[in-house]
Amino acid sequence: MDISNQVKEQGEDTKPLWNYVSKIKGLSGGCGNFEVRCNFCEIVFNGSYTRVRTHLLKITKKGVRSCQKITPSNPTELTKMDNETTLRIERSKKKHVSLPPMSNQETTNVDPKKIKTLEGFFNMQARETLDYEIARMFYSSGLAFHLARNPHYRKAFSFAANNNCIPGYQPPGYNKLRTTLLANERRHVENLLQPIKNTCKEKGVSIVNDGWSDPQRRPLINFMAMVISEQWSSYKADDINKAKFVKETALDDIWWDKVDYILSFTTPIYDILRKTDTDVVCLHLVYEMWNSMIENVKVIYRHERKGEGEESTFYKVVHKILIDRWIKSSSHLHCLAHSLNPW
């Protein structure tokens, strides 16, 4: 077997000695264990890459029988290959970057009155090391600096520093943070919110944002409280008949059908107003949006169960208002600008 050719085929594989055995089948235990056959001596054994390496490199006292068919020159080549791979893996690992040097000047310049205990004075170097480690965590992970203002950030380190009963504590890892701890936190918050949710049936308030903003680009938010309890009829601070009328109207399906109808032909008008009320250049889109809006407003015909060839008094009024406004805003200069639009 030409080992040098197989080395070339293997390339940069981190486990090149797999090339010199044949994997028969994977074992049920997993973890990289296989039933393998040596390509030199054809002995069959079970194990991972570590046992294959022990077998081929003739490493003794490892519980694996050494290969008896490897020629004297082969072990040298295999060992060289294994050493090069190990060196390459070590070089590819992330190198440890040392922390900045400790500044003795900072320790000597600290006002002794600010250090409450003698132990605190002698721990200044340890404190500075911890500061650098925390800062390195922020820099290496791209964490926002305002995370340091999070009260839980300070609570976590204060709890760890003030409790001597957890020596050797390791913070939760990736999987624990996104599974167990997250599920427990969500369950806890939901339990805290449950009493509030139970009162929503009687005291629930829906916050509605209409999406508009004032000239200063501040959002305008409308608040609408929907109350459907029996307390409406017993409310003495306002007119009982008005309260009863509002309640009946809010629960009337026919009234909501009328609201849907109004929204069906006003929404296209609202959409074009919103699209043009921005700083984005949209002159080249206005004419197409206008034609689409007129077509969508014709939903009035469908509601009145009329064909477009028939006369609709209401559509005629709405259409006239739109046309008058369009003529007022449209000019020959606008038409020329649209005709020169490269899109």
What percent of the chain lies above the pLDDT cut of 90? 11
- pLDDT of 84 reads 87
Task: Read off the pLDDT of residues 135-158 as tens digits, 9 standing for 90 and up.
Answer: 999 998 888 999 999 999 999 999
Q: Collapse the DSSP code of 273 into the 3-class scheme (helix H, G, I; strand E, B; otherwise coil) and give the result.
A: helix
Distance CA 140, CA 138 (A): 6
Task: Read off the pLDDT of residues 191-226 as tens digits, 9 standing for 90 and up.
Answer: 998 888 888 777 766 665 556 665 666 655 554 454
DSSP H helical ranges for 277-331: 283-297, 299-304, 313-329
Can you spell out the DSSP letters for 146-186?
GGGG-HHHHHHHHHHHH-TT-TT-----HHHHHTHHHHHHH
Cβ-based neighbour number of residue 79 at 10 Å: 14
Distance CA 4, CA 134 (A): 49
Distance CA 285, CA 289 (A): 6
- pLDDT of 8 reads 41
User: Quick one: residue 268, left, alpha or beta (phi over 0 = left, psi -120 to 50 = alpha)?
Assistant: alpha
Task: Read off the pLDDT of residues 272-330 as tens digits, 9 standing for 90 and up.
Answer: 888 877 777 776 677 788 888 888 888 888 888 888 788 888 888 888 888 888 777 66
CA nearest 17: which of 48, 41, 60, 62? 48
Q: Virtual CA dihedral for 333, 334, 336, 342, nearest 10 degrees?
A: 140
- The residue among 283 and 104 whose pLDDT is bigger is 283
Distance CA 67, CA 17 (A): 13
Is pLDDT above 90 for 187? yes
Q: Collapse the DSSP code of 111 into the 3-class scheme (helix H, G, I; strand E, B; otherwise coil) and give the result.
A: coil
Is pLDDT above 90 for 188? yes
The residues spanned by each domain of the chain are 3-92, 118-163, 198-250, 252-343
The C-alpha angle with vertex 185 and arms to 181 and 191, in degrees rounded to 5, equals 145
CA–CA distances in Å: residue 186 to residues 176, 189, 191, 250 = 14, 5, 9, 35
Task: Read off the pLDDT of residues 28-68 as tens digits, 9 standing for 90 and up.
Answer: 766 678 889 998 898 898 888 888 888 888 887 777 888 88
- pLDDT of 179 reads 92
- pLDDT of 281 reads 72
Cβ-based neighbour number of residue 86 at 10 Å: 11
User: Quick one: residue 225, left, alpha or beta (phi over 0 = left, psi -120 to 50 = alpha)?
Assistant: beta
Distance CA 138, CA 146 (A): 10
Q: How many CA atoms lie within 13 A of 78 on its CB side?
A: 22
pTM over 0.75: no
- pLDDT of 232 reads 56
